[in-house]
C-alpha cells in the first residue's frame, strides 16, 4: 500500500536526495517538456546558478547563453532583486485580488506606464506569458463589445508563432508541433504567413516583394469582413519560427492596416520586451506603437512568475465605468499583481535602467552578431543570421545557394553537443539562438561563441566520420 493511502494520519515522507533526482524511478513521478523516456536517459537538472552560469546536480557548469529561456534578464542570483523580494516577503506577500490590489502593484504599473512607448499606460498583471496573451485576446473582444462592435471577435495571428500553452493562447499560436495534439482548438482564430524573408512563403524577394506578407493581412481582413475582426497579434520578432526578424516596413504596414479596419494591434513581447532587442520594448526598436503589449519572462528576471499586459489610454478609458453599464475588464487570476512578484519587477526595472542594460544589450548584441558572422565565414552550414540585440539566431543549411536544409536535425545535434560542452542555448532542428542576460559581458559572449564554434566543429567532424556526433 502506498503511504498516501494511510490518509490524514500520514506524516510527510522523507525527501529523496538531490543525487537521486536523476534516477529514472524518481523521474517517472514528474512530467517535463520533453519525451520523458528519452530525457530521463540523460536528464538535465539544474541545482545552482550565479551570474551567467548554471551548475547541474552533478556539479557540471553551463554557460547560460539563453538566460534560462530569455527570462533571467538581470542575471542569476541578482542580489538587488533577491533583497527586494526578501523585504517584500516580510511586509506583505499576498493581497486579496477580488477586493483590490496593493501599493507595490500600483507602483510597478505606474513605472511601466512611464517607460512604455506612446500612451500604453494601463497595465494588467498576470503570472504567465500565456495568461497575458489570453488577456489581450479578451481585452480586444470586450473593447469592441463596449464600443458597439460586438461582432468583432476574430483574432489573426501567424503560422509558426507561439503565444502560449493555455487553450486561447494556443489557438492563436501557429506551431503545428504543439497544436495538433490538442485540436480542435477554439474557433475564431485565423493564421497568416509570417515575414520569413529568407524563405519567403510567396516565393518573392525583398524589397521587390512590396511586403506581400503584410499587405495580405489587409486582404484577409477584407475577405473575413472587417466587422468580424477584433485584433492582429504578432511577435515583433517571431521566435519559434527561427528568429523571424521582419523587414523594416512590415510592422508600420500592419499598424496602418489595423487602423484602417478598427482592428487592435497586439504585440506579443514576452521574449522581445524588457530590453532584449536593445530598447525597453521591440515596439521602440521598430518604431511602431501597438494598441497592446504583452510582456512576461524578463520582467521579473525569472525570480517569480510575473507578466503584464499594457494597453493604450484610449482603450483603457473604455473600461472606466459607469458601473451600471460597464463591468470593467472581465479577466483575472488569483496571483495577479502579487506584491512579491511586483517587488521583483520593480527591482528588475531599476537594475535595467540604472545600469543602462538596454544599451548593453545593443553593444553585446553587436558582439554576438560579429561572432555569428565569423562563424558563418568558417562554416558553410550557416545560411542566415537574424535578430536584434540579445535575441539572435542562425539558420543551418546544406547549401547556401539553394537553402536546402541539412538532414538529421543538424541544429538539434549542435544544441545537444553544446550542452555537452557546457553551453545552454535555444536549438531547433534547423536553427539555434542566443539570448543571454542583458548584463552579460563581452568576455562572456566570447566564451559562449567559442563553445558554439567548438560544438559546430565537433558535429561536422562527426558527420564526416571523424567521431560520433
Ligand X SMILES: Cc1ncc(COP(=O)(O)O)c(C=O)c1O
- Minimum CB separation of residue 392 from ligand X in Å reads 15
- Minimum CB separation of residue 20 from ligand X in Å reads 28
- Minimum CB separation of residue 424 from ligand X in Å reads 15
- Minimum CB separation of residue 391 from ligand X in Å reads 11
CA distances from 179 to 45, 164, 182, 268, 269 (A): 27, 11, 6, 18, 21
Q: What DSSP string describes 2-60?
A: -GGGGGGGPPPPPPPPGGGGGSHHHHTT---SS-HHHHTTS---EEEEEBTEEEETT--
- Minimum CB separation of residue 271 from ligand X in Å reads 5
Query: Closest by alpha carbon to 415, among 28, 48, 55, 66?
Result: 66
CB-CB contact of 207 with 215 (8 Å): no
- Buried b / exposed e across 296-318, counting CB within 10 Å, b at 16+? bbbbbbbbbbbbbbbbbeebbeb
**Three-class secondary structure of residue 203 per DSSP:** coil
For ligand X, the closer of residues 163 and 413 by Cβ is: 163
For ligand X, the closer of residues 270 and 361 by Cβ is: 270
For ligand X, the closer of residues 131 and 395 by Cβ is: 131
- Minimum CB separation of residue 409 from ligand X in Å reads 21
For ligand X, the closer of residues 171 and 261 by Cβ is: 171
For ligand X, the closer of residues 296 and 456 by Cβ is: 296
For ligand X, the closer of residues 133 and 171 by Cβ is: 133
Interface residues with ligand X (CB under 6 A)? 128-130, 133, 162-164, 235, 239, 268, 270-271, 296
For ligand X, the closer of residues 192 and 209 by Cβ is: 192
Query: First and final CA of the chain: distance in angstroms?
Result: 46
**Three-class secondary structure of residue 383 per DSSP:** strand
For ligand X, the closer of residues 67 and 130 by Cβ is: 130
* 444, three cell numbers: 562572456
How many beta carbons lie within 10 A of that of residue 284, not counting itself? 18
Angle between helices 339-354 and 79-91 (to 10 degrees): 150
- Any idea of the CA torsion for 109, 111, 115, 120, to the nearest 10 degrees? 20
- Any idea of the CA torsion for 395, 401, 405, 406, to the nearest 10 degrees? -90
- Minimum CB separation of residue 91 from ligand X in Å reads 27
- Minimum CB separation of residue 127 from ligand X in Å reads 8
Question: Which residue in the shown chain puts its C-beta closest to ligand X?
Answer: 129
- Minimum CB separation of residue 199 from ligand X in Å reads 20
- Minimum CB separation of residue 163 from ligand X in Å reads 5
For ligand X, the closer of residues 333 and 363 by Cβ is: 333
User: What percentage of the chain's residues is helix, strand, coil (to nearest 5)?
Assistant: 40, 15, 40
Helices (H), 317-441: 339-354, 357-378, 410-420
Give dist(CA 132, CA 245) in Å, integer: 23
Consecutive H or E run containing 170: helix 167-172
CB-CB contact of 423 with 53 (8 Å): no
For ligand X, the closer of residues 238 and 371 by Cβ is: 238
Amino acid at each position: 500500500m502506498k503511504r498516501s493511502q494511510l490518509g490524514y494520519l500520514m506524516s510527510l515522507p522523507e525527501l529523496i536526495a538531490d543525487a537521486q533526482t536523476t534516477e529514472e524511478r524518481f523521474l517517472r513521478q514528474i512530467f517535463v517538456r520533453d519525451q520523458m523516456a528519452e530525457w530521463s536517459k540523460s536528464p538535465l537538472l539544474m541545482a545552482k546558478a550565479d551570474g551567467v552560469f548554471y551548475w547541474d546536480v552533478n556539479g557540471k557548469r553551463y554557460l547560460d547563453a539563453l538566460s534560462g529561456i530569455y527570462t533571467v534578464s538581470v542575471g542569476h542570483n541578482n542580489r538587488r532583486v533577491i533583497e527586494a523580494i526578501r523585504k517584500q516577503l516580510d511586509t506583505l506577500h499576498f493581497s486579496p485580488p477580488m477586493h483590490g490590489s496593493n501599493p507595490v502593484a500600483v507602483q510597478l504599473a505606474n513605472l511601466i506606464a512611464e517607460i512604455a512607448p506612446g500612451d500604453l499606460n494601463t497595465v494588467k498583471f498576470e503570472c504567465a506569458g500565456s495568461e497575458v496573451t489570453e488577456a489581450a485576446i479578451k481585452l480586444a473582444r470586450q473593447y469592441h463589445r463596449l464600443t458597439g462592435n460586438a461582432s468583432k471577435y476574430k483574432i489573426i495571428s501567424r503560422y509558426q508563432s507561439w503565444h502560449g500553452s493555455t487553450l486561447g493562447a494556443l489557438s492563436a499560436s501557429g506551431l503545428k508541433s504543439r497544436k495538433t495534439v490538442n485540436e480542435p482548438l477554439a474557433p475564431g482564430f485565423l493564421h497568416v504567413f509570417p515575414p520569413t524573408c529568407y524563405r519567403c512563403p510567396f516565393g518573392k524577394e525583398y524589397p521587390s516583394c512590396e511586403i506581400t506578407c503584410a499587405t495580405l493581412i489587409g486582404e484577409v481582413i477584407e475577405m473575413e469582413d472587417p466587422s468580424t475582426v477584433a485584433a492582429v497579434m504578432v511577435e515583433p520578432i517571431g521566435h519559434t519560427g527561427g528568429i523571424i526578424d521582419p523587414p523594416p516596413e512590415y510592422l508600420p504596414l500592419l499598424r496602418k492596416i489595423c487602423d484602417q479596419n478598427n482592428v487592435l494591434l497586439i504585440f506579443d513581447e514576452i521574449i522581445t520586451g524588457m530590453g532584449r532587442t536593445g530598447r525597453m520594448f521591440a515596439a521602440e526598436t521598430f518604431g511602431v506603437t501597438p494598441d497592446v503589449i504583452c510582456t512576461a519572462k524578463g520582467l521579473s528576471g525569472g525570480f517569480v512568475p510575473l507578466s503584464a499586459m499594457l494597453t493604450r489610454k484610449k482603450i483603457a478609458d473604455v473600461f472606466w465605468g459607469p458601473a451600471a453599464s460597464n463591468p470593467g475588464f472581465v479577466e483575472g487570476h488569483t496571483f495577479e499583481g502579487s506584491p512579491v512578484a511586483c517587488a521583483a519587477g520593480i527591482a528588475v526595472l531599476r537594475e535595467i535602467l540604472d545600469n543602462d542594460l538596454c544599451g548593453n544589450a545593443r553593444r553585446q548584441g553587436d558582439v554576438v552578431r560579429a561572432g555569428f558572422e565569423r562563424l558563418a565565414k568558417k562554416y558553410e552550414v550557416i545560411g542566415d543570421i537574424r535578430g536584434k540585440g540579445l535575441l539572435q539566431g542562425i539558420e543551418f543549411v546544406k547549401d547556401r545557394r539553394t537553402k536546402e536544409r541539412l538532414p538529421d536535425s543538424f541544429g538539434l545535434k549542435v544544441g545537444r553537443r553544446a550542452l555537452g560542452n557546457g553551453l545552454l542555448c535555444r536549438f531547433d532542428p534547423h536553427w539555434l539562438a542566443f539570448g543571454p542576460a542583458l548584463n552579460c559581458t563581452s568576455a562572456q559572449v566570447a566564451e559562449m561563441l567559442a563553445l558554439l564554434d567548438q560544438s559546430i566543429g565537433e558535429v561536422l567532424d562527426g558527420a564526416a566520420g571523424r567521431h560520433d556526433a
